Amino acid sequence: MNPSETVERRLLAVAMLGLIGMVCSFTVHGPARFWANFLLWFLFLLTVALGSLFVVSLEHLVGARWSVPIRRIPERISGLVVPLVPAALLALFSLPVLYPWARPGAVLAPIVAAKSAWLNVPFFAFRVVVCFALWLVSYRVLVGSSLEQDSSRDPALTLRLRRFAPVFAIFFGLTVTVVAFDWISSLEPEWYSDILGVYLFAGAFLAGLAATVLGVAYLIGQGRLPGVRPDHLYNLGAFLFAFTVFWSYIAFAQYLIMWYGNLPEEVYWYKHRVHGPWQTVTLILAIAHFLVPFLALIPRGSKGDLKTLCRVVGLVLGAHLLDLYWLIFPVLGAVPLLSWPELSFAMFFLGYALLWARRAMARGEDMPVGDPFLAEGLAFHL
């Protein structure tokens, strides 16, 4: 048995163990906790996939050259959006459990009942379907054309990608906003914040970047990205830094405006997050999502250093997960839940995702060899 198979077997074992834990948690703790965990991991993997897809499209949008040699990594990660389709359909079962407006027979506050034109199950499901359809089509175009170029070497495909990128950017922005409003904001349906789409976008882009860095490190470790130098990593690090600041800016702006306005229908959302048992989580989130990555990425040396970058992106991914946890879990109660059910979900989804990522990373060329700008990208200097 070769070592690669050992790793796969171990990952599979971890995932299976997690699956057993998940089933147990459903029977022991009931559906609410199960579906909250499911939603957490579904959104985490979805944002990683979408963030990676946006990393890909950004290169085409601005016509960047430096990122061509590493483009294949986010392209592969964004493929995660395909196996997430069944997860999304499954996640629809969480609606009557977690979402007050979808609870059958529930007596809704008038203000929530008035939103029923938007917050109703059929329309919600329809939006999920439309969003996924758009993402799958975009994935097909953005990644499919790139893979096609590997063999055909046709520069016209690059042109097609560049033309498609702005269109994608528009409905990417809209669909991510729909995700934020539907899956996250409507957990507490009285609450509203029109920045939430941007907030989730910033988190997703960070997660996509972080996953890209991990993928790059994985391939570099295997010597499969010859020619990728610290200069390329530096740019990734700079983007991580910039979007860490951007996320913090958006997060703080939303908090400041609601804190200052102190309107009951808005500020209650923060009240049970910033005070009481959730306060610790909020503090950890601020430290892990902003303070530590911000300070760690300030020195010039750390942006181009693979080891430092890997540590930072590990933290960034963890912080993004914590961010989603902080967004979702307060609906379960006043105390943050963290015990074996959460661990089982982590084992299953991480095990599965890593297994999937290993296979994805093994397929096809490691660099977009047909891209006319690959040579220029490899020659990139700061």
Partner 1 sequence: MSDPVHAVVGLFETPRALLEAIARLRPRGLGRLEAYTPYPVHGIDQALGLRRSPLPGMVLVMGIVGTVTAFAFQYWISAVDYPLITGGKPATSWQAFVPIMFEVMVLFATFTAGLGMLLLLNRLPELDHPLLGSSSMSAITRDRLALAVESEGDGLDVAAAQRALTEAGAVAVEVVARPPGPYTVSIAAAAVAALVAGVAVVAAGLGTWVAVKAFPALPPMVHMLEQPRLSAQGGSGFFEDGRAARLPVPGTVARGRLPHPFTRQEEASVLGNPLARTGPVLALGRRVYGERCLVCHGSLGDGKALLSAAYGAKPANLHTAAARALPDGQIYHVIVAGKNSMPPYVRELSQDERWAAVHYVRALQRAQNAEARDF
Partner 2 sequence: MATTTTSLPPELVPEPLSTGPVTAGSLDDQVLAFPDRPPPLKWFVALAFTLGCFAVGALLIVYTICTGIGVWGNNRPVFWGFDIINFVFWIGIGHAGTLISAILFLFRARWRNAIARFAEAMTIFAVMCAGIFPLIHVGRPWLAFWLFPYPNQRGIWPNFRSPLMWDVFAVNTYFSVSLMFWYLGLVPDLASLRDRTRPGFRKVIYAILSLGWRGSATHWLHFEKAYLLLAGLATGLVLSVHSVVSFDFAVSLVPGWHMTIFPPYFVTGAIFAGFAMVVIVLVVVRESMDLGNLITLRHLDLMNKVILGTSCLMGYSYLMEAFTAWYSMNPFLHHTFRQYVAGTYWWAGWICIGCNILAPQLFWVPKWRRSYPVMLFVALAVTVGMWFERFVIIVISLSQDYLPSSWHVYWPTPVDFGILLGSFGLFFSLVLLFARVLPIIATTEVKAALQGAQPGHEGVAS
3-state DSSP percent of the chain in helix, strand and coil, to 5: 80, 0, 20
Q: Is 255 in the site for partner 1 (CB under 8 A)?
A: yes
Q: Is 108 left (phi over 0), alpha (psi -120 to 50) or beta?
A: beta
DSSP state of 366: S
Shortest Å distance, C-beta 229 to partner 1:
16
Q: Is 298 in the site for partner 1 (CB under 8 A)?
A: yes
Q: How far apart are CA 100 and CA 108, in angstroms?
A: 8
Shortest Å distance, C-beta 299 to partner 1:
8
161 binds, among partner 2, partner 1, none (CB under 5 to 8 A by kind): none
Q: Is 182 left (phi over 0), alpha (psi -120 to 50) or beta?
A: alpha
13 binds, among partner 2, partner 1, none (CB under 5 to 8 A by kind): none
Q: Which of 110, 117, 262, 263 binds partner 1 (CB under 8 A)?
A: 262
Of 22 and 131, CB closest to partner 2 = 131
Q: Which of 3, 27, 223, 260 binds partner 1 (CB under 8 A)?
A: 260
Beta strands in the chain (DSSP E): none
Nearest to 247 by CA among 294, 199, 308: 199
Is the distance from CB of 93 to CB of 35 less than 8 angstroms? yes
- What does the buried/exposed string (b/e) look like for 298-316 if buried means 16 or more CB atoms within 10 Å of the residue's CB? eeeebbbbbebbbebbebb
> Treating both helix axes as pointing N-terminal to C-terminal, what angle do 31-62 and 340-362 enclose, rounded to 10 degrees?
30
Q: How far apart are CA 91 and CA 9, in angstroms?
A: 27
Is the distance from CB of 35 to CB of 339 less than 8 angstroms? no
Of 26 and 249, CB closest to partner 2 = 249
Shortest Å distance, C-beta 167 to partner 2:
10
Q: Which of 103, 300, 359, 363 binds partner 1 (CB under 8 A)?
A: 300
Q: Is 252 in the site for partner 1 (CB under 8 A)?
A: yes
Q: Is 294 in the site for partner 1 (CB under 8 A)?
A: no
Of 28 and 256, CB closest to partner 1 = 256
Q: Is 5 in the site for partner 1 (CB under 8 A)?
A: no
Shortest Å distance, C-beta 63 to partner 1:
23
195 binds, among partner 1, partner 2, none (CB under 5 to 8 A by kind): partner 2
Residue reference for tokens 């629809």: 92
Using CA of residue 191, residue 193, residue 197, residue 201, what is the dihedral sign?
negative
> Under 8 Å CB-to-CB from 335, ≥6 apart: which residues?
277
Q: Which of 20, 90, 256, 283 binds partner 1 (CB under 8 A)?
A: 256
Shortest Å distance, C-beta 4 to partner 1:
42
Of 25 and 149, CB closest to partner 2 = 149
Number of residues in contact with partner 1 under rule CB under 8 A: 8
Shortest Å distance, C-beta 290 to partner 1:
12
Shortest Å distance, C-beta 38 to partner 2:
25
Question: For partner 1, which stretch binds (CB under 8 A), given 225-233, 248-256, 322-330, 360-368?
Answer: 248-256
Shortest Å distance, C-beta 370 to partner 2:
12
Shortest Å distance, C-beta 256 to partner 1:
6
Q: Where are the alpha helices (DSSP H) in 63-154?
A: 72-78, 84-91, 95-98, 110-113, 121-152
Q: How many helices (H) and strands (E) does the chain have?
A: 17, 0
Length of the chain: 382
Chain residues binding partner 2 by CB under 8 A are 62, 64-66, 111, 114-115, 118, 155-156, 158-159, 162, 166, 169-170, 173-174, 177, 181, 192-198, 238, 245, 249-250, 253-254, 256-258, 260-261, 263, 265, 372-373, 375-376, 379-381
Q: How far apart are CA 81 and CA 62, in angstroms?
A: 24
Question: For partner 1, which stretch binds (CB under 8 A), given 53-61, 67-75, 86-94, 249-257?
Answer: 249-257
Q: What does the binding site for partner 1 look like in residue numbers (CB under 8 A)?
A: 252, 255-256, 259-260, 262, 298, 300
